[in-house]
Amino acid sequence: MSCVRRMSLAIVALLAALIAVPGQVSATSQVPFRAALANVNTTVPCPPNTPVPSFCVAITGSGHATHMGMIQETGLAVVSVGRPCGPGCVTDFARHTITAANGDQIVVETTGKNSATANPTIRFRTGPYVVTGGTGRFSGASGSGTATATINMATGTSTATFVGVLSTPGSGQ
């Protein structure tokens, strides 16, 4: 009987220890992410190995993002003229680097469709985005959502938003 009692006490003590030690918190948690930007778009030569026919656009801008504050953006969009998605519509791929005031960055890749509107100088772009990494407190970042933009072809400017989620390992952001 005393052996059974000692064994029962050992099991109870072990269970109490396991309950008392907090469980490991998830190393990655998702938080809502939203960025709003005002950009300048400039046609530039495409890098080697870009599918033909395409044209490339350098994107620079600034704005505000949750979890980052004031931001700067640089990017390159490759517009695939040879892969139309319908009348007045072309597809594109872009890689954006979004930089916080302290220099921490996230890298976002977008794919989208550029569609003409009733105003021939305005195009509307929409598509998914994926966060592919980052630096500083965003090192190892991931996430996804929807990117939209309104592009004024006459002035070379655009407004863009990214709305989705952001995950950063170990930081809870």
How high does pLDDT run on average in the chain?
A: 84
- Select the more confidently predicted residue: 13 or 87: 87
The span from the CA of 87 to the CA of 151, in Å, is: 18
Q: Which helix H or strand E contains 8, and what residues bound it?
A: helix 2-20
Question: Domains of the chain: which residue ranges?
Answer: 24-167
Q: Which CATH class is domain 24-167?
A: mainly beta
What is the per-residue pLDDT for 120?
Answer: 79
Separation of CA 88 from chain center: 27
What is the number of other CB atoms lying within 10 angstroms of the CB of residue 38? 12
What is the per-residue pLDDT for 14?
Answer: 36
Q: For residue 19, which phi and psi values (nearest 5 degrees)?
A: -70, -35
pLDDT tens-digit readout, 109-146: 999 998 888 887 888 899 999 999 999 999 999 999 99
Q: For residue 8, which phi and psi values (nearest 5 degrees)?
A: -60, -45
